[in-house]
Amino acid sequence: MDVKESVIAADITIEGKIVGSGHVRIAGRFKGDVHVDGNLTLDAGAHLEGQVKASVVVVGGELLGNIDNAKRVELLETGVINGDVKAGSLTVSAGSRMRGQVEFGWEGESRSKSEAKGFGSA
């Protein structure tokens, strides 16, 4: 069974929420959360402001928000992430930019107690 891909074209601006299965490609501007059981692709020039939950996230445009529990995140040369990333694996291309915290490779493992407490103890 083929998984369908929904596209928000380059000349479109949408505000709302995307929820469902299948793949989503954003080439325009979207403001809102994206929760899909498939892949999310942000094309170069695209702008997404919101929280992301997807299996694979490919960022070629600009993301203002967090990526949570992705299996894989790819930050392309034209990509910008301003937010936190939690993923199984992370690929970062030269020329890309990111500001935020990153956790990857920790699937199935819990944080140690010292990490959870932070620095220093009372």
* pLDDT band of 106, cuts 50, 70, 90: confident
For residue 77, is pLDDT > 50? yes
- In this prediction the pTM is 0.85
| 38 strand-pairing partners | none
What amino acid is encoded at 26 in this protein? I
Q: How many Cα atoms within 13 Å fall on the side-chain side of residue 61?
A: 20
For residue 6, is pLDDT > 70? yes
User: What pLDDT was estimated at residue 115?
Assistant: 46
